[in-house]
Amino acid sequence: MSETRKLFIKTYGCQMNVYDSERMAEALGGQGYVETDTPDDADMIVLNTCHIREKAAEKVYSELGRFRELKAAKPGLKIGVAGCVAQAEGEEIMRRQPLVDLVVGPQSYHKLPQLEARTRAGEKALDTDFPEEDKFDHLAARPKARRAPAAFLTVQEGCDKFCAFCVVPYTRGAEVSRPAERVMSEARDLVERGVREITLLGQNVNAYHGHDGGLAGLIRDLAGIDGLERIRFTTSHPNDMDDALIAAHGEVEKLMPYLHLPVQSGSDKVLKAMNRKHDAESYLRLIERIRAARPDILISGDFIVGFPGETEEDFRATMDLVSAVEYGQCYSFKYSPRPGTPAAERSHVDEATKDERLQRLQALLRSQQRVVQDRMVGQEVNVLFERAGRAAGQMVGKSDHLHSVFVEAEDVAIGDLRRVRIVESAANSLRAELV
Ligand code: SAH
Ligand code: SF4
Ligand code: F3S
């Protein structure tokens, strides 16, 4: 038997990175690695990175610098960089930061065991290829250990949309869908291990085409798995929200009433400059159709303020669109120029204006979010309990609408799906009683 080594993985960025980190840890499990939750006693550290905004990428370099002392104290410590920064800047990372032994991109992490072996032999290892083969076919079967009740499952990767601001098509490559039967077998496997809720992941998940019936067809098949109680998916592009998927929201009981549907801006001029290929009006009409199919659906979104060329009038159009939609949840960002993307070459909105617009937008989004959340008070909802709370006897879970819900109850266990009545709406959560 090989000796046990300790692996510390730190994950940045989106949910797909969370999923990838799990798969990387499993891949290195075959090399005798077990996960640890601190870098201090690790034999290998992997940063699974995000390149979406400038700050996210900078964090990687400052984080790496902090491992200098650890490495001096333990020369056998190996340091790896994975994820989207690795893909975009792998060679530069190797040059700039001699502490790094290993760089692996999001499409080649199935080769981690070989790459790790090379670092043990004293070499530096870099793999940022987009290989022909499907990495999932080359990863070992997933271990059988019991798991938390909610899990992510990647079904689609990459993006062909090329929004003018976005690095994802470059870091994750072209759109690829995993075949439905593979997804089904991974889902069954997760359910056998205690999972009751699965969130299907893709950079552009509703472009999924690994099933004849698209994402809607996959969701209907998944709904047939006994023991799987809840299905979610993220992230969707408005242009791929087809009739079948909208209908599924009305018909498939296990498909949860929550939809993340980023629009980025409410100005048609800005949307065009972003290469989004839809306008504000078509987005609003789409939301109406989705709400007609599932009236209680909670809509979530992403916004970018201060995109090159955005005027005060364009920004007001974004505020108007937000007012019209009434979001239950939103993420908003200042535009961040990314190397290699078309928008990075354009003339930029000044930082103070971006700051000021972000504050106005976030104030509006916060107030909407609160209105939607407060409306839950008095209602009965289902909650899947995921962890114990800080207070004694407190349990925390997620409602169908993805609100965090707290209850004080003796007889609730992690993994229980229970009916509760919401009694109070707090800053970012709801308090409830069992019914
Ligand atoms: N695939 C998803 C989004 C992936 S990135 C989609 O199509 O919506 C997540 C969010 O980050 C985006 O929706 C966008 O709002 C934001 N984002 C992406 N690139 C950005 C940039 N250069 N500057 C600021 N925010 C950005
Ligand atoms: Fe990026 Fe999403 Fe646009 Fe693709 S659709 S380029 S992932 S923002
Ligand atoms: Fe970041 Fe890559 Fe995800 S850039 S948001 S980790 S796809």
> pLDDT tens digits for the chain (435 residues)?
457 899 999 999 999 999 999 999 999 998 899 999 999 999 999 999 999 999 877 889 899 999 999 999 998 999 999 999 999 999 999 999 999 999 999 999 999 999 999 999 999 999 999 988 889 988 888 888 889 999 999 999 999 999 999 999 999 999 999 999 999 999 999 999 999 999 999 999 999 999 999 999 999 999 999 999 999 999 999 999 999 999 999 999 999 999 999 999 999 999 999 999 999 999 999 999 999 999 999 999 999 999 999 999 999 999 999 999 999 999 999 999 999 999 999 999 999 999 999 999 999 999 999 999 999 999 999 999 999 999 889 999 999 999 999 999 989 999 999 999 999 999 899 999 999
Cα(154)–Cα(248) distance, integer angstroms: 20
Rounded to the nearest angstrom, the distance between the alpha carbon of 162 and the centre of ligand 2 is 6
CA of 140 relative to ligand 3 center, distance in Å: 24
CA distance 90 to 83: 10
Distances 335 to 343, 369, 375 between C-alpha atoms, Å: 10, 22, 32
Strand-pairing partners, residue 202, are none
**Ligand (nearest to CA of 343):** 1
DSSP string, 214-231: HHHHHHHHHTTSTT--EE
Atom 6 in ligand 3: which residue has the minimum CA distance?
Answer: 50
Pairing status of strand 430-434 against strand 417-425: antiparallel
- In the chain the first and final C-alpha atoms are separated, in Å, by 52
Which atom from ligand 3 is nearest to the alpha carbon of 84?
Answer: 2
Domains of the chain: 5-127 (3.40.50.12160), 135-376 (3.80.30.20), 380-434 (2.40.50.140)
- Using a 6 Å CB cutoff, which residues line ligand 2? 159, 161-163, 166, 168-169, 203-204, 237
